């Protein structure tokens, strides 16, 4: 046999082995995705599983947690049978991303998260209330069958309430209980579900969305079914939950504030830190990073104070900004109109910095929970093909005019809407697992905070007050590193946390209290913003230094956004590979 023929046969054999491993990986990722999509039918609108729209789902069923854990363990076991060394570089990264995610998810099953699934921010209860909102719902209300499915789904609500009560009751026994300042605000998040007048109950709102193509008989039938649904399933279930929460749970709320005093709480918090930062940094390391960032940003804010000619100290300056009525919107209408005006200014700058842009548009809509953050973002789905930039117009004191530009950059364009809508649209480039299941808090929130930093280069902070608002927004994320770790790792009290935040931010006291309570109920989440932003800035500066005149900001953003949501570990690999390719004059590879 000639050496040429032998070499050819070896290359064919290697190619067959590579293809076999690639095929095994693709099948495993696809199979995992399909199972996750159907684990909890409540997520059917997000996953576009039409046949499950009429089911409320198995959330909080003990057997669901067992099923989820078994799926993750079995998938990890099968993943280890795939020879990573036989995969090409792009599939090795897919392998690493999948393995990192599965191992992180598996670590969370050791903790009793079911006991803390109700709070004053985001819960299944508030999600369900929002599902009836014309502006916030992800449920499709475009056909008669959709309306029938919504009514059918409500039949599962009473059983969910039973499970929710049991989960909280079990938490009382295990001493895994909400802190009192949080628990006291929970009833306010679901009070509208208690309205007995069916036509004033929020769950009657989808009636106003009925397409004009529906016949009169269809409309009459739907209206009757919604009235029965509210009277039979909705109101009695909310009443049952309210009675339990007010009489049995609330009197036993916890006096402590952070996770550190919960059973196994310190270990639980370390898990949240790893989950939300994609790093092995300790709470103490992150606390120190936060203190350094607070000091740096405070110095920049003092420069603005002096430039504005303010004669008092920093504390007096913050009070002056907070007390100034011109710092706030007067009406919800003014807030929405102002955000739409800022949107146009930002849109004009986008082509200078980005090649990749999502096709989906977004709408600026109003929040329904006054305890919600100043703004948030809802992603597009197949059933709702546009994003929603949700602005809290209920608590206008928590929505400063000074921070309007930064919030728009962060939540909409080129922040969350750009990144998440673009990832959603990459159907032919990345797996459905990566589009809809994989999530990296540090990447998603880090990117959004990076876009606020980018706003400086775009020239969007045109006066001292807007730039102060930008610095205040960045200060918020730096303060979060200090507070989150302080509350859950160092035992900071609610008042201690409020005092620290108020000493560093030009924010209304009610907004400060709401933010501090958010960190209490969502440990670790607030860490992802700064940690992620600092990593992206670090990678950009590395690229600028090594590529010099070859550096192209649009191409850098292509690299960051072009493969959907990544972990920081995978992002760093991707950027480093791109830098080497650029040095050799190559185009972006499909990592």
pLDDT level of residue 15 (50, 70, 90 thresholds): low
What gap in Å lies between CA 163 and CA 117, rounded to an integer? 11
Q: Tell me the longest C-alpha to C-alpha distance in the chain.
A: 90
What gap in Å lies between CA 409 and CA 58, rounded to an integer? 37
Whether residues 421 and 527 share a domain: the answer is: yes
CB 361 within 8 A of CB 335: no
Whether residues 243 and 277 share a domain: the answer is: no
Whether residues 279 and 356 share a domain: the answer is: yes
Whether residues 122 and 239 share a domain: the answer is: yes
Q: How many domains does the chain have?
A: 3
What are the phi and psi torsion angles at 324 (to 5°)?
Answer: -70, 115
Whether residues 524 and 469 share a domain: the answer is: yes
Instruction: Give residue 17's pLDDT.
Output: 63
Nearest of 572, 588, 583 to residue 550 by alpha carbon: 583
pLDDT level of residue 2 (50, 70, 90 thresholds): low
Q: Does 404 reside within a domain?
A: yes
Whether residues 147 and 79 share a domain: the answer is: no
What gap in Å lies between CA 8 and CA 468, rounded to an integer? 66
Q: Which burial class, exposed, middle or buried, applies to 185 when counting CB atoms under 10 A from its CB (0-12, 13-18, 19+)?
A: middle
Q: Are strands 362-366 and 387-391 parallel, antiparallel or unpaired?
A: parallel
Is 379 a residue whose pLDDT tops 60?
Answer: yes
What gap in Å lies between CA 276 and CA 279, rounded to an integer? 8
Instruction: Give residue 6's pLDDT.
Output: 43
- Give per-residue pLDDT as tens, 507-551: 888 889 999 999 999 999 999 999 999 999 999 999 999 999 999
Q: Does 308 reside within a domain?
A: yes
Whether residues 222 and 277 share a domain: the answer is: no
* Residue 100, token pair as written in the block: 């990192």
Q: Does 7 reside within a domain?
A: yes
With b meaning 16 or more CB within 10 Å and e meaning fewer, what string describes 268-286? bbbbbbbbbbbbebebeeb
CB 466 within 8 A of CB 434: no
CB 262 within 8 A of CB 489: no
Instruction: Give residue 346's pLDDT.
Output: 97
CB 449 within 8 A of CB 530: yes
Q: Does 565 reside within a domain?
A: no
What are the phi and psi torsion angles at 557 (to 5°)?
Answer: -65, -35
- Give per-residue pLDDT as tens, 98-154: 999 999 999 999 999 999 999 988 899 999 999 999 989 999 999 999 999 999 999
What is the residue-wise DSSP string for 256-296? Answer: --SGGGSTTHHHHHHHHHHHHHSS---HHHHHHHHHHHHHH
CB atoms within 10 A of CB 224: 10
Domain that holds residue 194: 117-255
What is the residue-wise DSSP string for 484-509? Answer: HHHHHHS---HHHHHHHHHTT----H
Instruction: Give residue 16's pLDDT.
Output: 60
3-state SS, one letter per residue, for 415-456: CHHHHHHHHHHCCCCCCHHHHHHCCCHHHHHHHHHHHHHHHH
Instruction: Give residue 413's pLDDT.
Output: 97
Whether residues 108 and 251 share a domain: the answer is: no
Instruction: Give residue 587's pLDDT.
Output: 60
Is 169 a residue whose pLDDT tops 60?
Answer: yes
The residue among 255, 277, 307 that closes a domain is 255
Across all residues in the chain, what is the average pLDDT? 93
Give, for 376, the enclosing helix (H) or strand (E).
strand 375-378
Q: Does 54 reside within a domain?
A: no
- Give per-residue pLDDT as tens, 60-96: 999 999 999 999 999 999 999 999 988 877 788 789 8
What gap in Å lies between CA 81 and CA 79, rounded to an integer? 5
Q: How far is CA 253 from CA 19, 120, 179, 401, in A?
A: 56, 14, 6, 36
- Give per-residue pLDDT as tens, 550-569: 999 999 999 999 999 999 99
pLDDT level of residue 368 (50, 70, 90 thresholds): confident
- Give per-residue pLDDT as tens, 466-523: 899 999 999 999 999 999 999 999 999 999 999 999 999 988 888 899 999 999 999 9
End-to-end CA distance of the chain: 38
Whether residues 307 and 237 share a domain: the answer is: no
Instruction: Give residue 588's pLDDT.
Output: 55
- Residues sharing a CB contact under 8 Å with residue 333, sequence separation 6 or more, in sequence order: none
Whether residues 201 and 348 share a domain: the answer is: no
CB 494 within 8 A of CB 181: yes
With b meaning 16 or more CB within 10 Å and e meaning fewer, what string describes 529-566? bbbbbbbbeebbeebeeebeeeeeeebbbbbbbbbbbb
- Residues sharing a CB contact under 8 Å with residue 411, sequence separation 6 or more, in sequence order: 375, 376, 377, 389, 390, 417, 448
- Give per-residue pLDDT as tens, 420-465: 999 999 988 888 999 999 999 999 999 999 999 999 999 999 889 8
What gap in Å lies between CA 305 and CA 297, rounded to an integer? 12
The residue among 492, 509, 531 that closes a domain is 531
Structure pTM?
0.91
The four Cα atoms 474, 477, 478, 480 give a dihedral, to 10 degrees, of: 160
Q: Which burial class, exposed, middle or buried, applies to 333 when counting CB atoms under 10 A from its CB (0-12, 13-18, 19+)?
A: exposed
Please list the residues that pair with 546 across neighbouring strands.
Answer: none
Is 13 a residue whose pLDDT tops 90?
Answer: no
Q: What does the radius of gyration of the chain's CA atoms come to, in whole angstroms?
A: 25
Q: Does 366 reside within a domain?
A: yes
Whether residues 233 and 195 share a domain: the answer is: yes
What gap in Å lies between CA 534 and CA 516, rounded to an integer? 23
Mean pLDDT, residues 250-276 taken together:
96
Whether residues 138 and 103 share a domain: the answer is: no
pLDDT level of residue 40 (50, 70, 90 thresholds): very high
- Give per-residue pLDDT as tens, 309-367: 999 999 999 999 989 999 999 999 999 999 999 999 999 999 999 999 999 999 999 99
The residue among 114, 142, 176 that closes a domain is 114
Instruction: Look at 10-24, 351-365, 374-388 and tell me which has the smallest mean pLDDT.
Output: 10-24
Instruction: Tell me the CB-side half-sphere exposure of residue 176, using CA atoms within 13 A.
Output: 19
**Lateral strand order in the sheet of 387-391:** 362-366, 387-391, 375-378
- 358 backbone φψ class: left, alpha, beta (φ>0; ψ -120 to 50): beta
Q: Does 550 reside within a domain?
A: no
CB 267 within 8 A of CB 489: no
CB atoms within 10 A of CB 306: 11
Nearest of 472, 482, 478 to residue 511 by alpha carbon: 472
Q: Does 370 reside within a domain?
A: yes
Nearest of 150, 149, 145 to residue 214 by alpha carbon: 145
SS3 content of the chain, % helix, strand, coil (to 5): 70, 5, 30
């Amino acid at each position: 046999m000639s050496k040429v023929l032998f070499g050819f046969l070896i290359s064919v054999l290697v190619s067959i082995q590579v293809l076999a491993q690639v095929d095994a990986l693709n099948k495993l990722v696809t199979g995992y995705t399909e199972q996750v999509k159907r684990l909890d039918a409540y997520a059917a609108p997000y996953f576009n599983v039409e046949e499950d729209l009429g089911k409320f789902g198995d959330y909080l069923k003990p057997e669901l947690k067992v099923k989820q854990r078994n799926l993750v363990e079995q998938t990890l076991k099968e993943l280890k049978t795939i020879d990573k060394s036989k995969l090409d570089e792009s599939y090795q990264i897919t392998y690493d991303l999948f393995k990192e995610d599965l191992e992180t998810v598996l670590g969370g099953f050791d903790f009793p998260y079911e006991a803390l699934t109700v709070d004053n921010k985001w819960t299944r209860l508030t999600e369900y209330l929002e599902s009836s909102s014309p502006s916030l719902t992800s449920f499709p209300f475009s056909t008669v069958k959709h309306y029938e499915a919504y009514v059918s789904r409500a039949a599962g609500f009473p059983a969910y309430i039973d499970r929710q009560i049991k989960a909280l009751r079990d938490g009382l026994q295990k001493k895994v209980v909400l802190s009192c300042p949080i628990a006291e605000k929970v009833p306010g998040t679901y009070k509208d579900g208690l309205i007995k007048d069916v036509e004033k109950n929020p769950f009657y709102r989808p009636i106003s969305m009925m397409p004009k193509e529906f016949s009169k008989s269809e409309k009459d039938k739907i209206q009757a079914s919604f009235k029965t649904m509210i009277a039979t399933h909705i109101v009695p279930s909310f009443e049952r939950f309210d009675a339990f929460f007010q009489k049995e749970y609330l009197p036993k709320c916890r006096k402590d504030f952070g996770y550190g005093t919960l059973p196994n709480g310190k270990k639980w918090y370390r898990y949240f830190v790893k989950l939300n930062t994609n790093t092995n940094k300790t709470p103490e390391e992150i606390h120190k990073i936060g203190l350094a960032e607070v000091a740096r940003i405070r110095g920049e804010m003092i420069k603005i104070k002096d430039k504005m000619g303010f004669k008092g100290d920093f504390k007096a300056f913050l009070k002056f900004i907070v007390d100034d009525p011109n710092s706030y919107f007067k009406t919800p209408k003014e807030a929405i109109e102002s955000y739409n005006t800022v949107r146009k200014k930002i849109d004009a700058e986008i082509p200078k910095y980005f090649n990749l842009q999502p096709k989906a548009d977004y709408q600026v809509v109003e929040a329904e929970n006054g305890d919600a953050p100043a703004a948030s973002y809802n992603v597009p789905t197949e059933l709702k093909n546009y994003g929603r930039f949700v602005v809290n117009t209920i608590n206008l004191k928590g929505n400063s005019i000074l921070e309007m530009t930064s919030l728009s950059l962060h939540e909409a364009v080129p922040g969350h809407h750009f990144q998440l809508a673009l990832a959603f649209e990459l159907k032919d480039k990345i797996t459905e697992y990566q589009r809809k299941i994989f999530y990296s808090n540090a990447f998603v929130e880090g990117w959004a905070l990076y876009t606020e930093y980018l706003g400086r280069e775009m020239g969007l902070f045109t006066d001292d007050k807007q730039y102060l608002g930008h610095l205040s927004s960045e200060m918020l994320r730096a303060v979060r590193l200090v507070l989150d770790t302080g509350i859950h790792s160092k035992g900071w009290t609610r008042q201690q946390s409020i005092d620290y935040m108020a000493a560093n931010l030009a924010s209304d006291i009610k907004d400060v209290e709401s933010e501090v309570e958010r960190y209490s109920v969502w440990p670790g989440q607030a860490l992802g913003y700064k940690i992620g932003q600092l990593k992206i800035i670090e990678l950009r500066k590395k690229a600028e230094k090594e590529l010099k005149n070859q550096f192209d900001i649009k191409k850098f953003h292509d690299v960051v956004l072009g493969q959907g949501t990544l972990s920081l570990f995978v992002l760093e690999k991707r950027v480093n590979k791109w830098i080497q390719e650029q040095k050799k004059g190559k185009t972006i590879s499909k990592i």
